[in-house]
Amino acid sequence: MITRRPGREPQPSATLECGQVVHYEPGICPPAPGDVVPCRRHGYCATAAVPVPTRGARGPRRTRSPRRTQEELRARLGGLPGESLAALRRERFTLRLLADAQQEGWLRVDQESDWVRLRSLP
């Protein structure tokens, strides 16, 4: 049986023939059915059942956020005189996106101060 505790990994467990449930640390392989393991009541008992964790027992599958676009970058910098590179990175704008915008000519990156500005168009 896989039990859940908030903020922790699921804990593998095994049910013994006497009815006791033995929990194991995550990362340790639980015994196979029929294996003799230590029991709190009887000293040693054979395992009756070892549940197999299902795919959903590991927790929710994490999905990545979609990549940011140059239009989102333009909208983010639209009303500002500029923004720090660190602030843009915290908002998931990649260095590749910033480099592409700089090569296209509509963005200026000051490497000394790590400041990003929209380039004024003539």
pLDDT, residue 29, reads 75
**Residue at token pair 């983010």:** 76
Closest residue by Cα to residue 96 from 83, 109, 110, 80: 109
Determine the residue type at 53.
P
Q: What is the mean pLDDT of the chain?
A: 81
Rounded to an integer, what distance in angstroms lies between the CA atom of residue 119 and that of residue 106? 5
Burial class (CB in 10 A: 0-12, 13-18, 19+), 88: buried
Residue 77, SS3 per DSSP: helix
Which pLDDT tens digit goes with each residue over 92-119?
A: 999 999 999 999 999 998 888 889 998 8
> Percent of the chain, pLDDT > 90?
27
Q: Is 3 helix (H, G, I), strand (E, B) or coil?
A: strand
Please write the tens of the pLDDT for every residue from 32-64: 888 888 888 888 888 888 776 655 555 566 788
Write down the domain spans for the chain.
13-55, 70-118
Can you give the pTM of this predicted structure? 0.49
Q: Which two tokens stand for residue 33?
A: 């059915």
